[in-house]
Structure 1
Amino acid sequence: MRMLDVVERAGNKLPHPFMLFVYLALFIIVASWVISLFNVTVVHPGTGEEVAIQNMISEDGLIFILSSMLTNFTGFAPLGLVLVMMFGIGLAQKVGLIETFMKKTILNAPKRFVTFAIIGTGVIGNLASDAAFVIIPPLAAMVFYALGRHPLAGMSAGFAGVGAGFTANFFIAGTDALLAGISTEVAQTIEEGLVVTPVDNWFFMIASVVMLMVVGTIITEKVIEPRLGKYNPRYGEKGIVDQKLEDVTAQETRGLRNAGIAGLIYAALIALLVVPTNGVLRGEEGTIVPSPFLSNIIPIILFFFIIIAIAYGMTVGKIKSTKHVPEYMADAMKDMSGYIVLIFAASQFIAYFNWSNIGVWIAVSGAEFLTNMNFTGMGVIVGFIILAAILNLFIFSGSAQWALMAPIFIPMFMVLEYNPAFVQLAYRIADSSTNIITPMNPYVPMVLAFMKRYDNRAGFGTLFSIMLPYALIFLGLWILMFIIWTLVGIPIGPGVEMKL
């Protein structure tokens, strides 16, 4: 607890998050200049091309800074995702649907299972890809506040489930297909015809969901909530802390019923486009993973929220004409103004980091260091996991980092007769664990913006001190689980063992 207090105090002495990203961007500019003076180059493991550190204090660098400023911001993928999702979620919130739903369902559920349910929903929510980052944490904060618990504890539980549990699931998700494709391509350079399938890590990931839900609940209730103490609403925004949960009226009950009916009709229509083998939203070969259904899950979820919100709003009298719909959406967007300003600076920092090739240099250099240590057996696997977890602090995209690391480590481990699916699994648990504490995570600014709505004193120190226990404990227990699973000899997927 004392260590976390130190982390929070030190972190909150940092400048405003907007200015912090500005300073980080300036640091990258200077660092790229200094490193480039030494003519540092690395060979990109995926393309085989020599990659040099690009100097941002140069003609090309200056042109990039000026010419990319707008596209860095407008092309920042999470920005569009968050704002579009808030059209639907914000509409549902403004008409009162989310509050009524919580009163009617979640608040009537056994309170001892609420944390467990939130973390589980976050973990399984990766089926909706990055949309889960936008939906789960703020909803979890609202649930905790409504129950008289600290909203930041709820938000941390939701963020931990979505971020640290991003790779785990009961179901096969897009992540499985994406990483398996990279692993297969690399493995076939060593052994022609070897295929890593999307289900090769499935058994381990199913067990991981249970572990994350149980451990995440214990961390939230035994570490995070006691440390945060009793919530003081005087530090929150008026619109947030003034929410009061009164008994559900008969009209609100009818609104929920009509929203549920509308949602079921919409879900049935989507199912007609997905379930049949020749469904429009299936892949070219009749697959669901990958498919247009998964790649377009964001607009599908958006329309779902809009439809149920309109059905509810019309029933309870909040929506009496079509003009009320855009008015409520616009009102919801006002709450996102702080996030939009913050993202402008964050997007520039991340763009500079990528353009300078500093991330590629760190990844390749770290991999070479581990290779030269000449570890053998489980020691080298654990070292690989720790290295991947550290590198994830600099390269947030799981697929991008794996595209860098797979060409180095899969061949190395295959020479030692390790199954590439086993190496991929080791990478996945490392990559997920530190998702929630890296400033390269584009959803960290969003979570911080939501945190500040409940507590205007919150800063990066608050966020990282809350999320650090999840990251470290998840990583430690995941490594232990990985070792025990391997020693016992349980398949990590259908017919997949540690060795080839």
Structure 2
Amino acid sequence: MATEENGSPSRISRILNGIERIGNRLPDPFMLFVYLALIVIVLSSIIALFNISFYQPGVEEKVFIQSLLSKDGIQFMITSMIDNFVGFKPLGIVLTMMLGVGLADKVGLLETAIKCTIVKAPPSLITYAVVLTGILGNLASDAAFVIIPPLSAMVFYNIGRHPLAGLAAGFAGVGSGYTANFMVSGADALLSGISTEVVQTIDENVVVTPVDNWYFMIASVVVLSVIGALVTEKIVEPRLGKYTGDVKKEFTKVQPREWKGFINAVIAGLIYIAFLISIIFLPNSPLTNEDGGMVPSPFLTGIVPILFFLFIIVGVTYGITVKKITDTRSIGKYMGEAMRDMAGFIVLIFSASQFISYFEWSNIGSWIAVSGANFLQSVGLTGITVIIGFVLLTAILNLFIFSGSAQWALEAPIFIKMFYFLDYHPAFVQVAYRIADSSTNVITPMNPYIIIILSFMKDYDKKAGIGTLIALMLPYSIFFLGSWIILLLLFIFLEIPFGPGIGVYL
């Protein structure tokens, strides 16, 4: 815990400790989502009594708050329960990834890889490397939430630092830095497509392309890597103090057979990557789009299965080399062990999926988002002030609507049109949206991956709860959002293009 010179806890630590105490008084995560689902059921019924309606952008008819205690609501809850669970997107992503990652972990490849690479890096650079890896991990889409935070915790643990600090740094990079990257990603294509569709309803000559935010996002990677590392080392890790848990995840010295297995796994992985590249450059490749491009493409859409096979290949190669895999039955055995570790996550997903489904069906989430957007529009703010207000509003709304594309589809028809008449470029408005949408990803209860991050935390601290996680991640959200706003203002006042030929105004 961070202290002042007189030995008492610092003001920041007292605030975060208070948040942690309050948060940890919440019920067990499984029951928390059960209670939240019950609250949504009751709340939807009460609001529906007042016949509250709103106009959702892009929909001409009024949208009403739907009661979950009505005939339709009860039928929905009964008939959708199984679909809510098995159709919950993170469930398939996490379990598929953990089949591959779990195999590589159980045969010892991940531990050997860390011992041979990151652990040997200069200690002063490890925190920066962890945050940077998390930020760039969005190329792997949501799979990055499953891979990077637990590996980051292992890195910190094995160099004598607090594992939860490593987990927090990795999660911050993946979650709060989700939209930034050195490369154009699927998020760029998805958001720019929505922006173009909206703006062309009022001006057919305006187009937002996937590279229109590229320069800003490149700068964001550098800034957020530094900010994330400083928050980890100056705020998060001092507050956590010295780790005194009884987890035994220490790395032993790399043996010659392990080193050979690691080299063979790297070679096998490179061969697999080379094979993918050769397919990508084939005429009429099945991994590219109709124009031969990569954004969007089946390659990006199918990144989870592609990574799954990568981990299977390198895991099996390593396992055979170190003689942990002696027959085909060994592969299934190690995968089964990995799945047993996911039992708690699966149970939590059941209740979380019901809550999120009820929240969406009732239209309460959309009502909150639209009402907040209309309020800001009615205030009549002008100039840069309105952009900052838009950023702050979006950051708050992200606490209720986790899906970035869904929230942008909701906000874009209002704000792109509003800002267009103020002569703002839609790509600039999109940048402002992206920095707000990413910053609060790590503290919103609507983020389904918070559940698995909490399960990773419990590996090192059995008493960790929702409050522990929120207190751990809140500094990242605050500093990432603040730094991003400053970076946005620098681009505005220094007239730096946000992408090729893209400024603030049309």
TM-score normalised to structure 1 length: 0.98
**Structure 2 residue aligned with 1:140:** 152
Deviations 1:332-373 (A, max 9, x none): 111111111111111111000000000110111001100111
Name the CA distance, whole Å, in 1 between partners of 2:418 and 2:85.
39
**Structure 2 residue aligned with 1:238:** none
Question: How many residues are aligned here?
Answer: 494
> Cα offset for 1:277?
5.4
> Cα offset for 1:276?
4.1
Deviations 1:303-331 (A, max 9, x none): 00010010000010100111000000001
Does structure 1 retain, via aligned residues, the 8 Å contact 2:269–2:314? yes
**Structure 2 residue aligned with 1:494:** 500
Name the CA distance, whole Å, in 2 between partners of 1:179 and 1:199.
11
1:110 maps onto 2:122 in alignment: yes
Distance 1:200 1:21, change over 3 A: same
Name the CA distance, whole Å, in 2 between partners of 1:25 and 1:221.
37
Name the CA distance, whole Å, in 2 between partners of 1:104 and 1:124.
21
Runs of 4+ residues over 3 Å off in structure 1? 275-278
**Structure 2 residue aligned with 1:237:** none
- Is the partner of 1:491 in helix, strand or coil? coil
Name the CA distance, whole Å, in 2 between partners of 1:273 and 1:437.
40
- Is the partner of 1:233 in helix, strand or coil? coil
1:82 maps onto 2:88 in alignment: no
- Is the partner of 2:269 in helix, strand or coil? helix
> Cα offset for 1:485?
1.4
Name the CA distance, whole Å, in 1 between partners of 2:502 and 2:267.
43
> Cα offset for 1:294?
0.5
- Is the partner of 1:70 in helix, strand or coil? helix
**Structure 2 residue aligned with 1:303:** 309
Name the CA distance, whole Å, in 1 between partners of 2:61 and 2:139.
35
**Structure 2 residue aligned with 1:151:** 163
Name the CA distance, whole Å, in 2 between partners of 1:135 and 1:13.
29
Deviations 1:405-429 (A, max 9, x none): 0000111000010001111110000
Name the CA distance, whole Å, in 2 between partners of 1:223 and 1:490.
32
**Structure 2 residue aligned with 1:395:** 401
1:482 maps onto 2:494 in alignment: no
Task: Report the AA paired with residue 188 of structure 1.
Answer: Q
Deviations 1:429-479 (A, max 9, x none): 000000110000010001001111111000000000000000011111111
Does structure 1 retain, via aligned residues, the 8 Å contact 2:157–2:250? no
> Cα offset for 1:16?
0.5
**Structure 2 residue aligned with 1:367:** 373
Deviations 1:248-292 (A, max 9, x none): 111111101111111111111111111345322111111100111
1:381 maps onto 2:404 in alignment: no
**Structure 2 residue aligned with 1:211:** 223
C-alpha RMSD over aligned residues? 0.8
Name the CA distance, whole Å, in 2 between partners of 1:425 and 1:384.
11
- Is the partner of 2:328 in helix, strand or coil? coil
Name the CA distance, whole Å, in 2 between partners of 1:49 and 1:484.
42
Does structure 2 retain, via aligned residues, the 8 Å contact 1:273–1:282? no
TM-score normalised to structure 2 length: 0.97
Name the CA distance, whole Å, in 1 between partners of 2:344 and 2:244.
22
Task: Report the AA paired with residue 224 of structure 2.
Answer: L
Q: Which residues of structure 1 form unaligned runs of 5+?
A: 235-240
The residue correspondences of 1:94-493 to structure 2 (distance < 5 A) are: 94-234=106-246, 241-276=247-282, 278-493=284-499
Task: Report the AA paired with residue 144 of structure 2.
Answer: A
Does structure 1 retain, via aligned residues, the 8 Å contact 2:175–2:441? yes
Does structure 2 retain, via aligned residues, the 8 Å contact 1:178–1:399? yes
Task: Report the AA paired with residue 150 of structure 2.
Answer: P
Name the CA distance, whole Å, in 2 between partners of 1:281 and 1:48.
38
Does structure 2 retain, via aligned residues, the 8 Å contact 1:45–1:404? yes
Does structure 1 retain, via aligned residues, the 8 Å contact 2:154–2:249? no
> Cα offset for 1:480?
1.5
Name the CA distance, whole Å, in 2 between partners of 1:201 and 1:179.
10
- Is the partner of 1:42 in helix, strand or coil? strand
Q: Which residues of structure 2 form unaligned runs of 5+?
A: 1-12
Name the CA distance, whole Å, in 2 between partners of 1:132 and 1:277.
30
